[in-house]
Chain A
Amino acid sequence: MTMPLDDSDAAPTEALLRLYANGDRFASRILAARLVPRVLSHAERLLGNRAEAEDVAQEAMLRLWKIAPEWRTGEAKVSTWLYRVVANLCTDRLRRRRGVDLDAVPEPEDGRASVADVMQQTARAEALQAALLRLPGRQAQAVSLRHIEELGNPEIAGIMDISVEAVESLIARGKRALTADLARQREALGISE
């Protein structure tokens, strides 16, 4: 689908949301093109499952469409609100998943024989994704928001409803755990340092 993105790229998200609430159909196209990739990416990092992440992205955007008429400009950033919704939806899904089948967490593709054929880049991405899923949920969320979505710590603190210091602590612990986990995987998968 080709998204008509021109100068409207510069329009503030809050203003676009207001336009949408006032009946502008074009505004929803710009909002979707701007927000869905971020929402989907974050959900995929937290869930490790593309199909589920798409469902979460659709549900999060649906909640945004519904709240648009009541949105109060200046109260919160749309992206902050949206990341929070995504995190809650993912947490619900992870809770349902937990206890049912812990092994459902995707592992990096097994098969040492084929590792040589897998691009290093893909192997790295898959290894990190798997390691992220093994982290405690809050650590994974904080690390993903900081290093994948590239948000600042204050915004992450707003999304997670904790202090900036708590965000820093979560990220530091998460990265230590990831480093240790990935070191083991690199050795097993033959990924170069």
Chain B
Amino acid sequence: MSDAPFEPDPLERDFRALKAHAAPPGDDLMARVLADADAVQAAAMAPPPRAASSFGTRFVRLIGGWPSLAGLATAGIAGVWIGLTQPAALIEGSQALLYGDQTMALVDLDPGFGFSDLDGGL
């Protein structure tokens, strides 16, 4: 490897002359470079632009955000499912209530509670 300095020769003097001859960067170049630096830095540090809010976005915000929308969707799906499958226990219960011949009575276990005061009691 030839990292060691070369012996002084005319070429070495030429290299030294060329180094000494190099003019430093001018103010104009430094100003351009720093303007670039500031512009790139400002762009990198700026928050990302917010997308324009659509009707959907505003609706979601109106009802309380995405958690509310998820709850609403779950309730809707559950309603559709109940309507389609008609669970037997629910049908039996409601049919018995509406069309059955059983009678139901409310028993006032605690007269002091107040039922007895309504329309002469039950």
Q: Which residues of A contact B (CB under 8 A)?
A: 1, 3, 20-21, 23, 25, 28-29, 31-33, 36-37, 40-41, 44-45, 50, 54, 57-58, 61-62, 65-66, 68-69, 121-122, 124-129, 147-148, 152-153, 164, 168, 171-172, 175, 178-179, 182, 186, 193
Contacts and interface: CB of A to CB of B under 8 A. Distances in A.
Contact of A28 (B23, B29, B41, B45): B41
Interface string B1-29: 11100000111111101111111111101
Interface of A is mostly: helix
A61 B21 contact: no
Interface in B29-53: 29-34, 36-38, 40-41, 44-45
Interface residues of B, number: 34
Contact of B11 (A28, A122, A182): A182
Contacts of A193: 10
Interface of B: 1-3, 9-15, 17-27, 29-34, 36-38, 40-41, 44-45
A153 to B, nearest CB: 6
Nearest to B34: A32
Contact of A171 (B2, B17, B23): B2
Task: Select the residue from B10, B19, B24, B33 with max chain A CB neighbours within 10 A.
Answer: B33
B18 A124 contact: yes
